[in-house]
Amino acid sequence: MNDTPRSVKQVGFTVNGQAVALEVAARRTLAEALREDLGLTGTKVGCNRAECGSCTVLVDGRAVFACTMQVVEMGGRQVTTVEGLACHGELHPLQEAFIEHDAVQCGICIPGILMALKALLDRTLDPTEDEVKHAVAGNLCRCGTYPNTVKATLAAARALRDDAEATIARGSR
Ligand code: FES
Ligand code: FES
């Protein structure tokens, strides 16, 4: 007999490539589950009502506000947080470029901005300046890093394009 209270649900999904299983209250948000149940505090919560973008994560590759999603909706999905950006101990080119172009001030908005831009660069490695601005239109930065955010993103796109071209050139030898 299942003695799980009706208000508690079970959900299984993937976070940064790792399978997770949680028992959660039905209305628990994805942001709460990531930060409080899974200890992934890189995802920030600012407004908690879909206005600031600081909680942005990827769900099946799409940038979403984790404060607006219930974690029980995540069954079988792939969630990527800012902790999943670095790979084998190396920062993602976006992270490198943000440091290089001084696009980080207090950092509260930065995880969400990085994830919104990761979704963009996963779609295109040749974004226009307007596409970069549009990708982060829902992400507020009180420190005003916007101009450097755009420069950093275009630089990261160039670095990723160069990597892709080098890989193709190696494969054709
Ligand atoms: S905390 Fe989710 S949009 Fe502000
Ligand atoms: S770097 Fe401070 S809010 Fe964006």
Domains (range + CATH), the chain: 5-84 (3.10.20.30), 93-168 (1.10.150.120)
* 90/87 Cα distance (integer angstroms): 5
Ligand 2 pocket by Cβ (under 6 Å):
104-110, 141-143, 145
| Centre of ligand 1 from the C-alpha of residue 170, in Å | 43
Q: What is the DSSP letter of 33?
A: I
pLDDT of residue 126: 97
Q: What is the pTM of this model?
A: 0.94
Decide: helix, strand or coil at residue 80. strand
User: 100 near 152, Cβ under 8 Å?
Assistant: yes
- The tokens for 60 are 């099946």
Q: How many CA atoms lie within 13 A of 72 on its CB side?
A: 11
| Centre of ligand 2 from the C-alpha of residue 55, in Å | 13
| 50 Cβ inside 6 Å of ligand 1 | yes
pLDDT tens, residue by residue, 4-62: 667 899 999 999 999 999 999 999 999 999 999 999 999 999 999 999 999 999 999 99
